[in-house]
Amino acid sequence: MASLKQLKTQFLEYTEIEKGRSLHTVRNYDHYLSRFLEFSKNDNPANITDTSVREFRLWLNRQSAGNAKAKGETLTKKTQNYYLIALRAFLKYLARQEVKSLPAERIELAKVSERSLDLITPAELNRLLDSPKGSDLKDLRDKAILELLFSTGLRVSELCSLTADIDLSSEELSIRGKGGKVRVVFISPNAKKYLKNYLTARKDMSEALFLQVPNEISKKSLSKGAVIKNKNINPLTRRSIERIVKQHAIKSGISKKVTPHVIRHCFATDLLSNGADLRSVQAILGHANIGTTQIYTHVTDKHLRDIYKRFHNKG
Protein backbone atom coordinates (compact mmCIF):
# COMPACT_ATOMS: atom_id res chain seq x y z
CA MET A 1 0.00 0.00 0.00
CA ALA A 2 1.19 3.50 -0.82
CA SER A 3 2.18 5.72 2.10
CA LEU A 4 0.28 8.89 2.97
CA LYS A 5 3.11 11.01 1.58
CA GLN A 6 2.94 9.14 -1.74
CA LEU A 7 -0.84 9.44 -1.80
CA LYS A 8 -0.58 13.16 -1.06
CA THR A 9 1.74 13.60 -4.07
CA GLN A 10 -0.69 11.65 -6.28
CA PHE A 11 -3.59 13.77 -4.99
CA LEU A 12 -1.76 17.03 -5.77
CA GLU A 13 -1.00 15.81 -9.30
CA TYR A 14 -4.66 14.80 -9.71
CA THR A 15 -5.78 18.21 -8.46
CA GLU A 16 -3.53 19.98 -10.96
CA ILE A 17 -4.14 17.78 -14.02
CA GLU A 18 -7.58 16.17 -13.77
CA LYS A 19 -9.27 18.87 -11.70
CA GLY A 20 -7.48 21.68 -13.53
CA ARG A 21 -6.83 23.72 -10.39
CA SER A 22 -4.27 26.53 -10.44
CA LEU A 23 -0.71 26.03 -9.21
CA HIS A 24 -1.53 28.49 -6.41
CA THR A 25 -4.32 26.19 -5.19
CA VAL A 26 -2.10 23.11 -5.49
CA ARG A 27 0.64 24.80 -3.44
CA ASN A 28 -1.88 25.74 -0.76
CA TYR A 29 -3.23 22.18 -0.58
CA ASP A 30 0.34 20.91 -0.30
CA HIS A 31 1.01 23.28 2.62
CA TYR A 32 -2.21 22.43 4.51
CA LEU A 33 -1.85 18.66 4.08
CA SER A 34 1.87 18.70 4.97
CA ARG A 35 1.03 20.45 8.25
CA PHE A 36 -1.54 17.76 9.01
CA LEU A 37 0.87 14.92 8.24
CA GLU A 38 3.65 16.53 10.27
CA PHE A 39 1.31 16.96 13.24
CA SER A 40 -0.22 13.48 13.11
CA LYS A 41 3.15 11.70 12.59
CA ASN A 42 1.21 9.09 10.65
CA ASP A 43 1.90 7.48 7.29
CA ASN A 44 -1.05 5.13 7.11
CA PRO A 45 -4.36 6.41 5.66
CA ALA A 46 -6.30 3.94 7.82
CA ASN A 47 -5.01 5.77 10.89
CA ILE A 48 -6.74 9.04 9.98
CA THR A 49 -9.57 8.97 12.50
CA ASP A 50 -12.09 11.27 14.14
CA THR A 51 -9.73 11.49 17.09
CA SER A 52 -6.64 12.43 15.04
CA VAL A 53 -8.59 15.10 13.16
CA ARG A 54 -10.04 16.51 16.40
CA GLU A 55 -6.56 16.71 17.93
CA PHE A 56 -5.31 18.50 14.81
CA ARG A 57 -8.18 20.98 15.03
CA LEU A 58 -7.38 21.72 18.67
CA TRP A 59 -3.74 22.26 17.74
CA LEU A 60 -4.71 24.59 14.88
CA ASN A 61 -7.02 26.57 17.13
CA ARG A 62 -4.12 27.29 19.48
CA GLN A 63 -1.58 28.32 16.84
CA SER A 64 -0.46 31.93 16.66
CA ALA A 65 -1.34 33.78 13.48
CA GLY A 66 1.78 34.51 11.45
CA ASN A 67 0.75 38.12 10.89
CA ALA A 68 -0.90 38.62 14.26
CA LYS A 69 -1.42 42.29 15.04
CA ALA A 70 -1.49 41.62 18.76
CA LYS A 71 0.31 39.11 20.92
CA GLY A 72 -1.74 36.02 21.58
CA GLU A 73 -3.82 36.31 18.39
CA THR A 74 -4.52 32.86 16.97
CA LEU A 75 -5.51 31.51 13.56
CA THR A 76 -8.97 32.66 12.52
CA LYS A 77 -11.74 30.10 12.05
CA LYS A 78 -11.69 30.94 8.35
CA THR A 79 -7.98 30.09 8.08
CA GLN A 80 -8.50 26.89 10.08
CA ASN A 81 -11.21 25.89 7.62
CA TYR A 82 -8.74 26.09 4.74
CA TYR A 83 -6.84 23.19 6.34
CA LEU A 84 -10.05 21.21 6.78
CA ILE A 85 -11.20 21.85 3.21
CA ALA A 86 -7.88 20.54 1.89
CA LEU A 87 -8.11 17.49 4.16
CA ARG A 88 -11.68 16.76 3.04
CA ALA A 89 -10.67 16.99 -0.62
CA PHE A 90 -7.80 14.58 0.06
CA LEU A 91 -10.09 12.10 1.84
CA LYS A 92 -12.56 12.23 -1.06
CA TYR A 93 -9.69 11.41 -3.40
CA LEU A 94 -8.67 8.45 -1.20
CA ALA A 95 -12.25 7.16 -1.28
CA ARG A 96 -12.28 7.35 -5.09
CA GLN A 97 -9.04 5.37 -5.13
CA GLU A 98 -10.66 2.82 -2.78
CA VAL A 99 -8.09 3.55 -0.08
CA LYS A 100 -9.51 2.88 3.38
CA SER A 101 -9.54 6.03 5.50
CA LEU A 102 -11.84 8.45 7.33
CA PRO A 103 -14.93 9.41 5.24
CA ALA A 104 -14.67 13.05 4.16
CA GLU A 105 -18.19 13.85 5.38
CA ARG A 106 -17.06 13.20 8.94
CA ILE A 107 -15.22 16.53 8.91
CA GLU A 108 -17.39 19.57 9.59
CA LEU A 109 -16.09 23.08 9.02
CA ALA A 110 -15.92 25.52 11.90
CA LYS A 111 -18.68 28.12 12.04
CA VAL A 112 -17.39 31.54 11.10
CA SER A 113 -18.90 34.93 11.79
CA GLU A 114 -20.60 36.71 8.92
CA ARG A 115 -18.08 38.28 6.61
CA SER A 116 -17.76 42.04 6.85
CA LEU A 117 -16.99 44.23 3.88
CA ASP A 118 -14.07 46.58 3.62
CA LEU A 119 -15.48 49.56 1.78
CA ILE A 120 -14.49 53.13 1.04
CA THR A 121 -16.95 55.93 0.42
CA PRO A 122 -17.76 57.15 -3.12
CA ALA A 123 -15.83 60.35 -2.36
CA GLU A 124 -12.78 58.35 -1.25
CA LEU A 125 -13.06 56.15 -4.34
CA ASN A 126 -13.10 59.22 -6.60
CA ARG A 127 -10.02 60.61 -4.86
CA LEU A 128 -8.27 57.28 -5.31
CA LEU A 129 -9.09 57.10 -9.03
CA ASP A 130 -7.93 60.70 -9.49
CA SER A 131 -4.65 60.19 -7.63
CA PRO A 132 -2.37 59.46 -10.64
CA LYS A 133 -2.37 62.87 -12.34
CA GLY A 134 0.97 62.94 -14.16
CA SER A 135 1.76 62.29 -17.81
CA ASP A 136 4.78 60.08 -17.14
CA LEU A 137 4.57 56.35 -17.88
CA LYS A 138 4.15 55.36 -14.23
CA ASP A 139 1.15 57.62 -13.63
CA LEU A 140 -0.41 56.62 -16.96
CA ARG A 141 -0.02 52.97 -15.97
CA ASP A 142 -1.35 53.45 -12.44
CA LYS A 143 -4.34 55.42 -13.72
CA ALA A 144 -5.13 52.62 -16.18
CA ILE A 145 -4.84 50.00 -13.42
CA LEU A 146 -7.19 51.81 -11.04
CA GLU A 147 -9.77 52.60 -13.72
CA LEU A 148 -9.71 49.05 -15.08
CA LEU A 149 -10.12 47.53 -11.60
CA PHE A 150 -13.21 49.64 -10.92
CA SER A 151 -14.60 49.23 -14.43
CA THR A 152 -14.43 45.42 -14.47
CA GLY A 153 -14.32 44.21 -10.86
CA LEU A 154 -11.40 41.96 -11.76
CA ARG A 155 -9.51 39.98 -9.16
CA VAL A 156 -5.88 41.15 -8.92
CA SER A 157 -4.66 37.77 -10.26
CA GLU A 158 -6.92 38.20 -13.28
CA LEU A 159 -5.58 41.70 -13.86
CA CYS A 160 -2.01 40.37 -13.79
CA SER A 161 -2.85 37.82 -16.48
CA LEU A 162 -3.91 40.42 -19.08
CA THR A 163 -1.74 40.92 -22.15
CA ALA A 164 -0.86 44.03 -24.14
CA ASP A 165 -2.85 42.84 -27.16
CA ILE A 166 -6.09 43.57 -25.30
CA ASP A 167 -8.86 44.46 -27.78
CA LEU A 168 -9.94 48.00 -26.94
CA SER A 169 -12.31 48.19 -29.91
CA SER A 170 -14.71 45.99 -27.93
CA GLU A 171 -16.55 46.75 -24.72
CA GLU A 172 -16.22 43.11 -23.63
CA LEU A 173 -13.29 41.14 -22.33
CA SER A 174 -13.10 37.37 -21.77
CA ILE A 175 -11.38 36.46 -18.51
CA ARG A 176 -10.25 33.07 -17.24
CA GLY A 177 -10.88 33.23 -13.52
CA LYS A 178 -10.83 30.85 -10.57
CA GLY A 179 -11.00 27.18 -11.46
CA GLY A 180 -10.23 27.99 -15.10
CA LYS A 181 -13.78 29.27 -15.65
CA VAL A 182 -14.21 31.85 -18.42
CA ARG A 183 -16.51 34.82 -17.97
CA VAL A 184 -17.15 38.13 -19.72
CA VAL A 185 -16.43 41.49 -18.08
CA PHE A 186 -17.08 44.94 -19.50
CA ILE A 187 -14.72 47.88 -19.92
CA SER A 188 -16.08 51.39 -19.48
CA PRO A 189 -15.22 54.15 -21.99
CA ASN A 190 -13.22 55.86 -19.24
CA ALA A 191 -11.09 52.77 -18.58
CA LYS A 192 -10.55 52.24 -22.32
CA LYS A 193 -9.36 55.84 -22.71
CA TYR A 194 -6.75 55.53 -19.96
CA LEU A 195 -5.61 52.13 -21.19
CA LYS A 196 -5.05 53.61 -24.66
CA ASN A 197 -3.07 56.49 -23.17
CA TYR A 198 -0.84 54.04 -21.31
CA LEU A 199 -0.32 51.66 -24.24
CA THR A 200 0.48 54.56 -26.59
CA ALA A 201 3.20 55.78 -24.22
CA ARG A 202 4.85 52.36 -23.97
CA LYS A 203 7.94 51.76 -26.09
CA ASP A 204 8.69 48.15 -25.17
CA MET A 205 7.87 44.84 -26.80
CA SER A 206 6.64 43.01 -23.70
CA GLU A 207 3.54 40.86 -23.85
CA ALA A 208 2.16 41.66 -20.39
CA LEU A 209 -0.30 44.53 -20.10
CA PHE A 210 1.08 46.07 -16.92
CA LEU A 211 4.85 46.33 -16.45
CA GLN A 212 7.44 47.83 -14.21
CA VAL A 213 8.62 51.24 -15.42
CA PRO A 214 12.37 52.04 -15.52
CA ASN A 215 12.60 53.73 -12.10
CA GLU A 216 11.03 50.62 -10.51
CA ILE A 217 13.59 48.26 -12.01
CA SER A 218 16.43 47.60 -9.62
CA LYS A 219 20.05 48.18 -10.58
CA LYS A 220 20.55 44.45 -10.20
CA SER A 221 17.86 43.79 -12.82
CA LEU A 222 19.29 46.42 -15.15
CA SER A 223 22.69 44.77 -14.95
CA LYS A 224 21.05 41.63 -16.31
CA GLY A 225 19.75 43.48 -19.35
CA ALA A 226 16.25 44.53 -18.28
CA VAL A 227 16.10 47.76 -20.27
CA ILE A 228 12.99 49.54 -21.47
CA LYS A 229 13.11 48.08 -24.99
CA ASN A 230 13.80 44.58 -23.77
CA LYS A 231 11.01 42.03 -24.01
CA ASN A 232 12.02 40.69 -20.60
CA ILE A 233 10.92 43.68 -18.52
CA ASN A 234 9.14 42.21 -15.53
CA PRO A 235 5.33 42.30 -15.54
CA LEU A 236 3.70 43.62 -12.38
CA THR A 237 2.96 40.94 -9.81
CA ARG A 238 0.00 40.71 -7.47
CA ARG A 239 2.11 42.26 -4.70
CA SER A 240 3.26 45.08 -7.01
CA ILE A 241 -0.32 46.04 -7.84
CA GLU A 242 -1.32 45.86 -4.18
CA ARG A 243 1.53 48.27 -3.37
CA ILE A 244 0.45 50.65 -6.14
CA VAL A 245 -3.13 50.76 -4.83
CA LYS A 246 -1.91 51.27 -1.26
CA GLN A 247 0.42 54.11 -2.29
CA HIS A 248 -2.34 55.97 -4.11
CA ALA A 249 -4.75 55.44 -1.21
CA ILE A 250 -2.24 57.05 1.17
CA LYS A 251 -1.61 59.85 -1.34
CA SER A 252 -5.39 60.41 -1.51
CA GLY A 253 -5.64 60.81 2.26
CA ILE A 254 -7.59 57.58 2.82
CA SER A 255 -6.81 56.22 6.27
CA LYS A 256 -8.46 52.81 5.71
CA LYS A 257 -6.60 49.86 4.29
CA VAL A 258 -7.27 49.85 0.54
CA THR A 259 -6.47 46.85 -1.66
CA PRO A 260 -7.46 45.80 -5.20
CA HIS A 261 -10.14 43.63 -3.58
CA VAL A 262 -11.63 46.69 -1.88
CA ILE A 263 -12.06 48.22 -5.35
CA ARG A 264 -13.77 44.97 -6.42
CA HIS A 265 -16.13 45.38 -3.45
CA CYS A 266 -16.86 48.95 -4.55
CA PHE A 267 -17.60 47.72 -8.08
CA ALA A 268 -20.09 45.13 -6.80
CA THR A 269 -21.88 47.46 -4.41
CA ASP A 270 -22.09 50.12 -7.14
CA LEU A 271 -23.87 47.66 -9.45
CA LEU A 272 -26.30 46.50 -6.77
CA SER A 273 -26.97 50.02 -5.48
CA ASN A 274 -27.99 51.05 -8.98
CA GLY A 275 -30.47 48.21 -9.39
CA ALA A 276 -28.50 45.27 -10.82
CA ASP A 277 -29.89 41.87 -9.87
CA LEU A 278 -27.89 39.50 -7.71
CA ARG A 279 -27.55 36.73 -10.32
CA SER A 280 -26.08 39.10 -12.90
CA VAL A 281 -23.58 40.49 -10.40
CA GLN A 282 -22.64 36.93 -9.45
CA ALA A 283 -21.87 36.16 -13.12
CA ILE A 284 -19.86 39.35 -13.63
CA LEU A 285 -17.79 38.76 -10.49
CA GLY A 286 -17.25 35.09 -11.32
CA HIS A 287 -18.59 33.79 -8.01
CA ALA A 288 -19.28 30.05 -8.07
CA ASN A 289 -21.77 30.39 -5.20
CA ILE A 290 -24.40 33.12 -5.01
CA GLY A 291 -23.94 33.11 -1.23
CA THR A 292 -20.59 34.83 -1.81
CA THR A 293 -22.35 37.60 -3.73
CA GLN A 294 -25.03 38.02 -1.08
CA ILE A 295 -22.56 39.61 1.34
CA TYR A 296 -23.05 42.83 -0.62
CA THR A 297 -26.82 43.04 -0.29
CA HIS A 298 -27.00 44.34 3.29
CA VAL A 299 -25.09 47.48 2.33
CA THR A 300 -26.99 48.15 -0.88
CA ASP A 301 -30.64 47.50 -0.12
CA LYS A 302 -32.20 50.88 -0.87
CA HIS A 303 -35.68 49.41 -0.53
CA LEU A 304 -35.19 48.63 3.16
CA ARG A 305 -33.70 52.07 3.74
CA ASP A 306 -36.69 53.72 2.04
CA ILE A 307 -39.12 51.60 4.11
CA TYR A 308 -37.33 52.65 7.29
CA LYS A 309 -37.45 56.35 6.41
CA ARG A 310 -41.10 56.12 5.39
CA PHE A 311 -42.49 54.18 8.34
CA HIS A 312 -40.19 54.71 11.32
CA ASN A 313 -41.68 57.00 13.95
CA LYS A 314 -39.05 59.69 14.23
CA GLY A 315 -40.71 61.15 17.30
Q: Catalytic residue numbers? A: 155, 178, 261, 264, 287, 296
Q: Which amino acid is at 94?
A: L
How many Cβ atoms from other residues are within 10 Å of residue 224's Cβ? 11
Which residues pair with residue 172 across a beta bridge? 186
Phi/psi at 286 (5° precision): 80, 30
State the Cα–Cα distance between residues 203 and 216, nearest whole angstrom. Answer: 16
Q: Residue 64: is it exposed, middle or buried by C-beta count within 10 angstroms (0-12/13-18/19+)?
A: exposed
Contact indicator for 132, 139 with CB cutoff of 8 Å: yes
Phi/psi at 107 (5° precision): -95, 120
Which residues pair with residue 211 across a beta bridge? 235
Q: Which amino acid is at 83?
A: Y
